[in-house]
Amino acid sequence: MNLESKWLEDFVALAATRSFSQAAVKRFVTQPAFSRRIRSLEEALGLTLINRTRTPVELTEAGQLFLVTARNVVEQLSEAVRHLHHLEGQQGEVLQIAAAHSLTLGFFPEWIARLRRDGLPLSTRLVAANVGDAVHLLREGSCDLLLAFYDPDAALQLPADIFPSMHLGSTAMLPVCAVGEEGAPLYDLDGGQSVPLLAYSSGTFLGRSVNQLLRQRALRSTTVYETAMADSLKTMALQGLGVAWVPRLSVTAELARGELAVCGAESWQIPLEIRVYRWVLSRKAALRLLWRKLEGGVGRD
């Protein structure tokens, strides 16, 4: 039998609300995803736990009996986690931080170094992930903080009362390409010619931002490569394969060495805001201290 603890928490929430939609909101997932997780629990147990023909929903006899076990397991796990956090706090708490891939190298090390210089000797554990996975980690309580670029349209779909956020800094996406033998950019966005485009996968925030700019400026381009990873686009640009929009903090060294060049006017640049999101249910003293320092301006531009 392969059970996931989140299924048990889902089932306890459903038993309390007697509504799939209300329980899904409580668990910070969509209703279809929540329903699939309850179905997965039933399939793993080989039991029908929910009478879906009644409104509000009711537990079957098997569901009522299993609820006692589910509550006990959830409570025991929560108590064990609280105890471990207490022990870890005595030895020095470790903050779990999930970050978008493009922030793990260009931003995170310098940010942590600044915090330490300002008197916050934090112990951290970093998980690099795409934004969707990072948001999932934060919602599930698997990390304490999330570092990401702010998406004003989606706002990462995180309720601000449970996951408050704070501005950390600003940067921009730059259109870059490799240089020729004389050091000039291989491509020119202002030259009127069609350019090979190194693009982000559809649906990503950075990709939507670039596509919006391209539509506004009516750039002639042909997509020759597509990925969700900014660093992968940078690598392809270094090979002379096209133009990529990459966060400035990801290409600082390559621009300084003359390996890449900005290949368009400033109007081709896309402003970005870096934000940090917090899970307010975390009991870690180090997290509360960090947040107070951030509110006071430490570690922020």
Percent over 90 (pLDDT), the chain: 54
Q: Which of 237, 275, 226 is nearest to 100 (CA)?
A: 275
CATH 1.20.5.440 fits 171-272, yes or no: no
User: Is 249 a residue whose pLDDT tops 50?
Assistant: yes
d(CA 60, CA 57): 10
Average pLDDT for residues 185-205, to the nearest whole number? 91
- Which of 64-73, 219-228, 254-263, 278-287 bottoms out in mean pLDDT, i.e. has the lowest? 278-287
User: What confidence score (pLDDT) does residue 82 get?
Assistant: 60
The domain limits of the chain are 5-88, 89-170+273-295, 171-272
Amino acid code (one letter) for 193 = Q
Least confident of 80-89, 183-192, 271-280: 80-89
**Which phi-psi region, left, alpha or beta, contains residue 75 (left: φ > 0; alpha: ψ -120 to 50)?**
alpha
Nearest alpha carbon to residue 264 among 208, 219, 215, 200: 219
Q: Kindly state which CATH superfamily the domain 89-170+273-295 is placed in.
A: Periplasmic binding protein-like II (3.40.190.10)
Would you say the CATH fold of 171-272 matches that of 5-88? no
Q: Are 290 and 122 in contact (CB under 8 A)?
A: yes
pLDDT recorded at residue 162: 84
Q: How confident is the model at residue 1 (pLDDT cuts 50, 70, 90)?
A: low
Q: Which CATH number fits domain 5-88: 1.10.10.10, 3.40.50.10190, 3.30.2290.10, 3.40.50.1000?
A: 1.10.10.10
